[in-house]
Chains A and B, each alone.
Chain A
């Protein structure tokens, strides 16, 4: 591991000041939450010196706030904590199950949704789920917070829209409307401890007749960034979410995908399996949504 300095600011303002100072001096600073990506990278692919800015002590990044219309999840909250929050799990089962897929029990004591998003891997498990549930990034910046929809946050493989003097405070979501539920599925060759070969996050809303009135489908590990596939959503809206509709959404995902062949899977494989996961995740979201048509989760 390369040399590094460590600071642990206790407020958003303090954290911004540290980042700003580094940015203005052209010095490297990197925000640290759980460190399950950053620390591994420092030991392997990127050993250059830097200042680690640990945001776990910033109250806002550790807050879960379930409001009347909106829910906020702090960027640094470990997934083990999220998983223990029954109310959150009931609201966004897909988001929480995506976080629960990352790493082992020990890793989940540290790993955060914010970190997963800022790592900005095409295969990041939480990202399709966050997009499906219309997550919006709340970014701390000098002039005040700014907001960016999750689907616009990641700009490329390992890159995002954060400026060097900004950091992610958390993600907010509109609370699900009646008849709305989400689901996330990923494909790995093992049962756990792996990285998605393909991922699919889906949120659907159905009315009392079982007709789909809204849908968001996001797919991971099949393009440089996670994709919001509007044509898949279009294929679902207005249908009974029957096999034909699911099949059409799957085809839209295959068409939207522009994967590469690598050690984890081939182009052909990923294009096929993204359709399978889209179908299966949509079916799960649909079945969950049916239970909620008459009962608002909150």
Chain B
């Protein structure tokens, strides 16, 4: 671990500024706002997974008493994008639950009744529900105009394979020839949902000329504004988007569903329109994580050195192109320093909802395959699974499979910590099995803006544009406190709407603490510069003769100024006389996001008669760069572990033969309940990111990656049987044990 820097407030664990309102129920989430004369919008959804929509007529619904607006494809601009077609079906419906019309009425009951009056006709087509079916030569096509992208030659016939991608280095065949041991595996993971507690909800209030505001539950209101304006052919400047508090998103609230419908209905009705998805609609018609079929082949010499690795990765995109095959392909071998590898990935259309981001999109699936294969490799080599990974681990200077050379990264540090962790050195409990796996995520930078206002009493208000999901208000306040040298308690962070602060990309990609934090730090430095200049003017010295230390301006050493230091409060209180209010700002496109690696280990017990799994312990070790607020870093690690274990053990989208989701609710879509999981042990490793002022990497996504394989490897260890397909649900486990 690198040298610890002596921070004053970074690394402390103060309570979050938004905490009281959240625990007392005052915080306003998407569905909490009501406006005078508000209407309720509801969506008519397709009863078929795949059909031509030959007719949709909303006129009878519009005639109903209490109905103020009704819309369908005819109300949308021509030549829609895929997003536009997903928001409102055009010539085809592509999944069960696809929106085909919407109404706004005086009450929810009235709106529901109006939906029954909408007339539709369908020409039903056979649904394509699996990757194998979709990729077959004679497959039924979702889109006759979908020609596979990125092939060496332009294909002459359409396909459900929207795009392919390859990544390679060296010569894999030669690499396999050098191998003493080769393992191969074939792994399937069904679609899974993020399972955020808060369903999508918004309220639009738009006037006749298409101007107005939208209050919505979102991971990024600027991007929601842009997407909504694009789908409707409107002007972004006419729309103000306000982010509500958010009850979880995990990537699923980075794209729009209801917003354009609410805007259009509100504009037609000339009244505010509120729309809320039911939980069932969230499952059927928002964006789950891609189901996958992954094949892995890895070869190694007897000393554990990997000589070649090959991956074939197929991702379900759902109804429209855009599965996360890219990040999945780039992540699959990222933890390892490989001379020879080849990755082939596919973005495949199926008659299921269009997938959206889910925490490290694409990586949990492909890395589950690789980390499971490595576990088998370690067994064949009779090598400790952590030693095998250490032998091949990437470190500073390793060229990542996706191109750049890694700067300082913390994989080896995580592996070292795991090797001596009491949960690894202790004996495996009687009858249980232990599994380990490595996780990884790139993290991103992107655009952020921040303003820092110094109030007249010297307190600080930060305005930034990223909805606070994981405690980012607190993190911003901590970084501002560190930079300005003032106490955390004097600082408040506000998430501004699209009209009150500069553009920021979504809260996603584990970028907010890194990139928006960087903007806040720069805005604070802007303030410090201004304070120094005000102090210089007050003291009648040059600006470069003033320094900023511990929250106050002091004369530089050697400067002969017989003056009292000026605190932020002193300068703010006197601002009228020195040039007016203090406002710092920064906007940037952050470069240098740092990859975050993790090592997870878990002890599981399997009831061999029922196939039920008990999670006895789970340990997450992760490089955070610098943990700004360690409790929230641990929270991310624990939350990701819980979601990863849920995906590993019981979560799955179950479809019937007609493409109807059979478990569109939390009863049968089984996320873990609190009593299903042990306390998740965490250990934060800090290898600072050299490209961030305080060393931040971003921590939100890596935690979900390793639990899938860690669990599968533990079950292999406990039972002696390798089960390649997730979820490791009791029926799946019992069937595999009985077949073994």
Chain A interface residues toward B at CB < 8 A: 1-3, 44, 47, 187, 189-195, 197, 262-266, 268-269, 272-273, 276
Contact = CB atoms under 8 A, between A and B. Distances in A.
A269 B731 contact: yes
B654 to A, nearest CB: 5
A191 B668 CA distance: 14
Interface in B645-677: 649-650, 654, 662-663, 667-668, 670, 672-673, 675-676
Interface residues of B, number: 25
B610 interface: yes
Contact of A191 (B112, B609, B675, B735): B675
Contact of A187 (B610, B654, B662, B663): B610
A170 to B, nearest CB: 28
A192 B610 CA distance: 16
Contact of A3 (B109, B280, B663, B672): B109
Contacts of A189: 612, 649-650, 670, 729-730
Contact of B675 (A187, A192, A264, A272): A192
A213 B668 CA distance: 40
Contacts of A197: 730
A10 B668 CA distance: 38
B569 interface: no
B31 to A, nearest CB: 15
A263 B662 contact: yes
Interface in B632-650: 649-650
Nearest to B734: A269
Interface in B601-649: 609-612, 649
Contacts of B663: 263
A1 B112 CA distance: 10
A190 B668 CA distance: 10
A268 to B, nearest CB: 7
Interface in B247-284: 280
Contacts of B738: 272
A264 B610 contact: no
Nearest to B609: A276
Interface string B717-732: 0000000000001110
A54 B280 CA distance: 29
A262 B662 contact: yes
B667 A194 contact: yes
A275 to B, nearest CB: 9
Given A268-B735, A269-B734, A190 B670 contact: yes
A273 B610 contact: yes
B673 A191 contact: yes
A252 B609 CA distance: 17
A190 B676 contact: yes
Contact of B670 (A194, A265, A269, A272): A194
B734 A272 contact: yes
Nearest to A272: B734
Contacts of A265: 730-731
Contacts of A194: 667, 670
Interface of B: 109, 112, 280, 609-612, 649-650, 654, 662-663, 667-668, 670, 672-673, 675-676, 729-731, 734-735, 738
17 contacts: A189-B729, A190-B670, A190-B672, A190-B673, A190-B675, A190-B676, A191-B673, A192-B675, A194-B670, A195-B667, A263-B654, A263-B663, A264-B668, A268-B735, A269-B735, A272-B609, A273-B609
Nearest to B656: A263
A269 B675 contact: no
B491 to A, nearest CB: 38
Contacts of B649: 189
A191 B730 contact: no
Contacts of A191: 673, 675-676
A47 B610 CA distance: 37
Given A192-B675, A193-B673, A2 B109 contact: yes
Q: Which 4 A-B pairs have the closest CB atoms?
A: A269-B731, A191-B675, A276-B609, A263-B662
Contacts of B731: 265-266, 269
Contacts of A3: 109
Given A193-B673, A195-B668, A265-B731, 16 more contacts: A1-B109, A2-B109, A47-B112, A187-B612, A189-B670, A190-B650, A190-B670, A190-B673, A190-B676, A191-B676, A195-B667, A197-B730, A265-B730, A266-B735, A273-B609, A273-B734
Contacts of A47: 112
Nearest to A197: B730
Nearest to A269: B731
A273 B610 CA distance: 6
Contacts of B734: 269, 272-273
Most buried by B among A1, A44, A273: A273
Contacts of A195: 667-668
Contacts of A273: 609-610, 730, 734
A269 B729 CA distance: 11
Contacts of A190: 650, 670, 672-673, 675-676
A197 B734 CA distance: 14
Nearest to B280: A44
Nearest to B738: A272
Contact of B673 (A44, A192, A262, A268): A192
Contacts of B109: 1-3
A2 B110 CA distance: 10
A264 to B, nearest CB: 7
Contacts of A276: 609-610
Contacts of B729: 189
A193 B738 CA distance: 28
A133 B109 CA distance: 45
B737 to A, nearest CB: 11
Most buried by A among B611, B670, B731, B734: B731
A272 B731 CA distance: 10
A120 to B, nearest CB: 18
Nearest to B672: A190
A282 B654 CA distance: 34
A90 to B, nearest CB: 26
Given A2-B109, A189-B650, A190-B676, A269 B730 contact: yes
A36 to B, nearest CB: 13
B281 to A, nearest CB: 12
Contacts of A1: 109
Nearest to B729: A189
Most buried by B among A189, A263, A268: A189
Nearest to A273: B610
Contacts of B112: 47
Contacts of A262: 662
A263 B673 contact: no
Contacts of B670: 189-190, 194
A3 B113 CA distance: 12
Contacts of B675: 190-192
B730 A187 contact: yes
A237 B734 CA distance: 30
Contacts of B654: 263
Nearest to A276: B609
A2 B729 CA distance: 37
Nearest to B668: A263
Nearest to A262: B662
Most buried by B among A2, A3, A194, A195: A194
A189 B649 CA distance: 9
Contacts of A192: 673, 675
A276 B607 CA distance: 11
Nearest to A280: B609
A171 to B, nearest CB: 26
Nearest to A265: B731
Nearest to B646: A190
A266 B730 CA distance: 10
A231 B610 CA distance: 23
A148 B268 CA distance: 59
A44 B279 CA distance: 11
A273 to B, nearest CB: 5
Contacts of B610: 187, 273, 276
